Amino acid sequence: MSKYIIVSKSPKGNKTNCAHIVQYQVEGFDTEIFETQLFYLSSPAEGEPRYVYFGDKMGKHLDTNEDRDEFLAEFAKYQKGGSYRKTHPIKLSKSMQLRAKQKQLRDELSQLDHDIIQADEEERQEKFKTYKNDIDYTSLNKYLDEVATAVKSDRYYLNPVMHIWDGYKIEVIDKVLNKPVYIGELGKNGIKFRDIDAYEIK
């Protein structure tokens, strides 16, 4: 078992022409996290590792060639992914544990928000489906056809409007005069038409 535990690498992926910051922990130094820089080789020589140290910029506790070789070997295991974190858990301080718990709770809350939105939408669609199923479309379509026939005119058309004080009304618009000439008011028993009032003249 190596004395090194790889914590993270940034940036992700194998990017050329840039330094990769690798964070790690060292056996015997509790929860402290150290950093070093590695450089990715797109075409390493045969037998050489893909990642090499970035010049002479070594992290702490990489003092000897044996240390550096051991670290690169451990980093190669980390790069393979899989169950590395399960077999190499990061040693967390109390504050780090609390931050990790905080992140976990935030992720759970975010997932809950997503689940609530999804559940609301599913319930809305189910309610809408029930609402639509209650409608008698046969009689409704017949009624709409009758209404369309009744209001059809070469000179007049109906224009629903919203009055600030009186609510919704229906203006009968004269196409020739290009202005409302009659008013329809919505009531429980349907639409009742009347003459236009002085204050309704535009």
Residue spans of the domains in the chain: they are: 4-96, 152-200
- Range among 48-52, 64-68, 114-118 rated most confident: 114-118
From 118-122, 162-166, 187-191, the region with the lowest mean pLDDT: 162-166
Higher pLDDT, 69 or 164: 69
Residue 164 pLDDT exceeds 70: no
What gap in Å lies between CA 185 and CA 192, rounded to an integer? 5
What pLDDT was estimated at residue 41? 84
What pLDDT was estimated at residue 15? 84
CB-neighbour burial class of residue 19 (10 A; exposed 0-12, middle 13-18, buried 19+): middle
Residue 189 pLDDT exceeds 80: no
What pLDDT was estimated at residue 26? 92
Residue 111 pLDDT exceeds 90: yes
Dihedral pair phi/psi, residue 193, rounded to 5°: -95, 150
What gap in Å lies between CA 69 and CA 52, rounded to an integer? 10
What gap in Å lies between CA 147 and CA 157, rounded to an integer? 12
Structure tokens at 139: 């009689």
What pLDDT was estimated at residue 119? 96
What gap in Å lies between CA 21 and CA 37, rounded to an integer? 5
Using an 8 Å Cβ cutoff, are 61 and 29 in contact? Answer: yes
pLDDT range class, residue 110, cuts 50, 70, 90: very high
Residue 31 pLDDT exceeds 90: no
Structure tokens at 109: 């809350």
Looking at every residue in the chain, the average pLDDT score rounds to 85
Q: Of 63, 62, 51, give the one whose Cα is nearest residue 19.
A: 51
Residue 36 forms beta bridges with which residues? 22
Question: Is the CA virtual torsion 21, 22, 23, 28 positive or negative?
Answer: negative
Continuous H helices in 24-165 = 65-79, 84-87, 94-133, 137-151
Structure tokens at 184: 């329809």
Report the relative pairing of strands 4-10 and 51-53 from DSSP bridges.
Answer: unpaired
pLDDT range class, residue 163, cuts 50, 70, 90: low
Average pLDDT over residues 130-155: 82
pLDDT range class, residue 165, cuts 50, 70, 90: low
